[in-house]
Structure 1
Amino acid sequence: MSDSPILTEQRDGYRVITLNRPDKLNAFNDAMHAALREAVDAAEADETCRALLITGAGRGFCAGQDLADRVAKPGEKIVLGVTLEQYYNPLVRKLRALPFPVIAAVNGVAAGAGCNVALACDIVLAARAATFVQSFARIGLVPDSGGTWLLPRLIGEARARALALTAEPISAEKAENWGLIYKCVDDAALLPEAEKLCAQFAKAPTAGLALIKQAFAASPTNTLDAQLDLERDLQRQAGFNPDYAEGVRAFMEKRKPNFIGRKKSE
């Protein structure tokens, strides 16, 4: 396997990004951050890319930050906010805003920022052997990479506070039961299931899916009236897209639609 910290594969209509530091459980260092940013930007720039799959090499998905890169010498202060501002926060914002679905295939431990980067994806599938842990409290830190925003919205404040304060790991099965992730599957079925989902999105009306992402992104801070107005505006925009007309024609003609996705209409 390549020694590059990020592996990228081009598939028919989607891309696969693999976090590739298996000896470190794919923990983030500066080189991996930079390579991941480049890979995500390349996927966004490629109009034939209509979904993105993120997974990990080896037995882990991502163990969060590589602490070997953040060891303070006696009397030295490490300014952790710089790492968040430079790497993690832009990554989470980018994943939430990409104009196509992002699927996380969590193949093993997802800890700390690695857990929250996975949760920032649109759909999270996890192998039965996977675990999720907000490990920050173990070293006196605060959940970051969106953790304090994502967790209460996914599983409620009581469970979110408990996971953050105790740093207790939970299984993929419990994560599914609690609503933290979409689905727990057998280990051998993880990648086939994720690839099947990506293949489905690769033929979907991508512009409409991007508008769905926009609607859900706005929902937590909108009033009902504001959200109703937003739905009206987004639906108007969706109706102008050629994929809507193609979807209706295909339905009436009892055939599969041929959506243009991210390509510009003539």
Structure 2
Amino acid sequence: MATDHRRAQKKNATGTFFFFMATLIMWAVSVFFEILFDNRTELLPLIFGFAFYQIFNWVCRNFISRDPLLVNTCVSLLHSSLTSASVVFILVKQLASNGVDELFEHSQLVNTTWPLAYSALCISCGYFAYDQLDMLLYGLYSGWIPSILLHHFILLGCFTLALYRNVTINYLILTLICELHSIFLHVRKVRRMAGIRDGKSKLVKTEWFLNIVTFLFARLLSHILITLKLVKDASKFEKGVELPLALFGMAGMNLLNVFLGLDLFNAFRRENRNNVHES
């Protein structure tokens, strides 16, 4: 614990910490202003999401482990599981009601909000704010421009502006299907922290299979298809920030997906190489 505290103190003295903490504070001020002064009570699930995951963090820290990385990973695993279930439920319900063609029609994705979609997006946005704060406070990042902090920065910007303007909510719900892959990212972290690293075991092989398949289809392919849909329907957007913001957000997500894919490939190769050497 002393090592973790010193690591957090050292990282908290860097420009990276001050930049991302400042943007998070500005975001929080903006949200409270919208709720308190503009009476945007529909944004309250955002506060609930932040509080819910912060409380679960406290429960993990006091009853499971004091390790900040393990606690953060357990909370992230809970978010990925709940968000995936919510997104799948919303999509299945819409498919049953409207069919595929209407589901992906431009006006449906941009100007309409599916039942529960707004609240689900608020709660997920609250989680990303919580996670950003937790990683900053405990130094759970590396580098001058950490990809994980940049990822949350992009998501908070895009999600919050969409919630304020109540547009493209359904598009953003579609992007959250990537949380299916995040489940196995977090499971892998927990598995390795538990000391289970035998690449020859059926458990690890199954986990890697699900990790790679969900990365390819739930994250990489889905985000590429969403980007192509935005480009195809560009002329249907009204003049404003919606299209540029959506394209910027998806460009950032696709770039981060490439880096994540490379990290996964290297991790998979490294684990298999280590098992070959051990045998």
TM-score in terms of structure 1 length: 0.30
Greater fraction of residues in strand: 1
Q: Which has the higher contact order (CA 8 A, sep 6+)?
A: 2
TM-score in terms of structure 2 length: 0.29
